[in-house]
Amino acid sequence: MPENDTTEEKEWVRGPEHLGSVWSRIARAIYNPKERSFLGRTAKRWGIVLVFYLVFYAALALLFGICMAGLVYHIDATTPTYTLDRSLIGSNPGVTYRPRPNDGIKISIDINNFTETNAILKDLDEFFQPYLMDSSYKSENGCKSDDNYGYPDTPCLFIKINKIYGWTPVYYESTDLPADMPEDLVEHIKGLDANETKRVWISCLEEKDNGTTIEYPWGQGIQGSSFPFLNKEGQTSPVVAVRITPPVGKLIALRCRAWAKNIQYRFSIKDFSGYTPIQVEVENSANVTV
């Protein structure tokens, strides 16, 4: 047998190299002095990896910056890309009110609880802060901060239509009023000149008659000059003040509706449209006996 074959055979039958203890293998995996490598890579290889990722993330950041710059350049700060029926909120404005309920779903008013009343007044003061420079708001009488918005005896509720960019109401004329419009509002509209009927009308009715007096000290309609909403500086949501004189100790349920041809009305407990339900309860804690 040739000598070189014997050598190859010996190499083949040789056992694996002794790797040492577990801790020595862990230490060698972190730093191998024989290969002069750290975590399996030499200094040169670590340098290549570092340069690669620096270039990669720099290019990624540059591309992201270019995309964001292009996006910001093409976005209008005042005009949404999709409006009215093309947008998620659609073209049917919601109807809401202030003050916000302080008792979950109802506005609770205690004639002798000044802390509770002051919380309502604070909420209204904050709400009307953007309106202070509005000339139409300044000209209104009653239901103002000066008279505590009528609280607690004759509280004022403020009905507003949510802002939808570009939405313009289609007004009712005195000759084509809907059959379900309240009679007092119909009489009011028919007594106006033609140029005064271009308004979004607001009516509030009790769900159950409890003898509550309902008044509209600022008028019962929102002027057409308030529309459309174009996100101009200082442009606010138009508001109608509703002053009520509810009986003490009874829960009052109101339904305040906005009237325009293109405001869809749908009566529902959960998915209502074109109106807002309001619950008010006036109490007198001094009369409560223990």
Q: Compute the chain's Rg from CA coordinates.
A: 37
Please give the model's pTM, rounded to 2 decimal places.
Answer: 0.73
Q: What is the mean pLDDT of residues 85-96?
A: 86
Q: 132 with 239: CB under 8 angstroms?
A: no
Contacts of 174 (CB under 8 A, 6+ apart): 189, 190, 192, 194, 197
Q: Is the pLDDT confidence value at 85 over 70? A: yes
Q: Is the pLDDT confidence value at 4 over 70? A: no
Across 56-65, 110-119, 132-141, 167-176, the highest mean pLDDT is recorded for: 56-65
Q: What pLDDT shows up at residue 289? A: 46
Mean pLDDT of the chain: 84
Residue 287 or residue 118, greater confidence: 118
Tell me which long-range contacts 126-131 makes (C-beta under 8 A, separation of at least 24). Answer: 127/98, 127/99, 127/158, 130/234, 130/236, 131/236, 131/239
Q: Is the pLDDT confidence value at 57 over 70? A: yes
Note the pLDDT tens digit of each residue in 102-152: 667 789 888 888 888 898 999 999 999 988 877 777 667 889 888 899 998
Percent of the chain's residues with pLDDT above 70: 87
Note the pLDDT tens digit of each residue in 185-238: 999 999 888 888 889 999 999 988 888 999 999 989 888 888 888 888 778 888
73 pLDDT tier (thresholds 50, 70, 90) = confident
Using alpha carbons, select from 264, 276, 272, 263 the residue that is nearest to residue 169: 263
Residue 269 or residue 248, greater confidence: 248
Q: Is the pLDDT confidence value at 36 over 80? A: no
Q: Is the pLDDT confidence value at 174 over 90? A: no
97 pLDDT tier (thresholds 50, 70, 90) = very high
Q: Is the pLDDT confidence value at 10 over 70? A: no
- Cα first-last separation, the chain: 118
Tell me which long-range contacts 19-22 makes (C-beta under 8 A, separation of at least 24). Answer: none
Q: 78 with 230: CB under 8 angstroms?
A: yes
Q: What pLDDT shows up at residue 19? A: 62
